[in-house]
Amino acid sequence: MADTENYNTLQEFTEDASGRGNKPILYTSQGSQGGVMKGMECLKGQISVFIFIALLASVCVNIVLGVLLTNSRSRGSSSPCSVEVSTVSLKLSSVQERYSRLCSDYTALGKSCSRPVRKCQPCPGGWTHLEGKCYYYSDDKLNWEHSKENCASMGSYLAILHTHEQHDALANLARSFGGYDYHYWIGLSDTEVEGVWKWVDNTLVNKTYWNEWEKEPNNHQSGGEHGEDCAVLESHSKSWFDVPCDFLYKRICEMDAVSTD
């Protein structure tokens, strides 16, 4: 049985990754007119599915950005904003469900082709799938605000750590990815009210992993006029530190994984 390949981008759905270059998947036996026609029908079907998936992926990114923007504007918890957030969230769930169905249809279509096609993945290429979430560990360094914007540009957000298991798993991954860089930005800050720590989705932190040895968060005076208002995950101690938001660190972005069953 041929091994199933994995795709890293939507474009790879209909491309041949062999040494002959990126060509549409269309293989026929020599002199077989029927093989050509079957291959053309298979290719047309794949192109149609590819176009739908590309459009839905674009819609998904826009809806996620809309959810994050709406959340940031609804800090007053007014009723109209809450209704709008719920509506956008429902739309996102609907698009994700349709994407999952298209992945299933694409996989079924691929079985009728002469060559195996790449399998749908729950996360984009270069992201790590973990417990229904996708995580991106950056190689470059930015300040906290620019890190937040960078994650949003990919349809994600700075990581939100709710459980002990999630915290330990992300700390272990940060240690393996980071090398000599121990600190990664997470989506936690007290920029609005000193001492009131909130996640980027505007929810209050419910479980903390501050470094007790260093008596964090200490808002140390070395942070300057604005103090230390943003949090990093320190992978070696598996704990949090508050640091100035204009420091440059790597970041962890997070998004929901897409079901491909």
Q: Is 25 among the domain residues?
A: yes
CB 162, CB 199: distance < 8 Å: no
Tokens of 108: 């079924």
| Domain end position, chosen among 110, 137, 166 | 110
Query: What is the average pLDDT value for the chain, to the nearest integer?
Result: 73
pLDDT at 66 over 50: yes
Are residues 154 and 200 located together in one domain of the fold?
A: yes
Q: What is the pLDDT of residues 106-144, one digit of tens each?
A: 666 666 777 776 777 888 889 999 988 999 999 999 999
Stretch 170-183: mean pLDDT: 90
Q: What counts of helices (H) and strands (E) characterise the chain? A: 4, 8
**125: exposed, middle or buried (Cβ count in 10 Å: 0-12, 13-18, 19+):** exposed
Q: Which residues contact 145 (CB under 8 A, 6 or more apart)?
A: 245
| Domain end position, chosen among 84, 110, 136 | 110
Q: Which residues contact 159 (CB under 8 A, 6 or more apart)?
A: 135, 170, 186, 187, 233, 252, 253, 254
Contacts of the segment 22-28: beta carbons below 8 A, 24+ positions apart: 25/113, 25/115, 25/117, 27/114, 27/115, 28/114
Are residues 164 and 218 located together in one domain of the fold?
A: yes
Tokens of 164: 């002990």
Q: Is 119 among the domain residues?
A: no
CB 100, CB 260: distance < 8 Å: yes
The pTM for the full model equals 0.62
Are residues 59 and 100 located together in one domain of the fold?
A: yes
Domain count, the chain: 2
Which is more confident, 19 or 180?
Answer: 180
Q: What is the pLDDT of residues 6-43, one digit of tens each?
A: 444 433 444 444 444 443 333 334 444 555 455 555 55
Q: Is 193 among the domain residues?
A: yes
For 116, phi then psi, to 5°, come to -65, 145
Residue type, 163: T
Reported as a pLDDT band with limits 50, 70 and 90, residue 212 is confident
Q: Is 261 among the domain residues?
A: no
SS3 assignment, position 232: strand
Q: Is 2 among the domain residues?
A: no
Are residues 210 and 238 located together in one domain of the fold?
A: yes
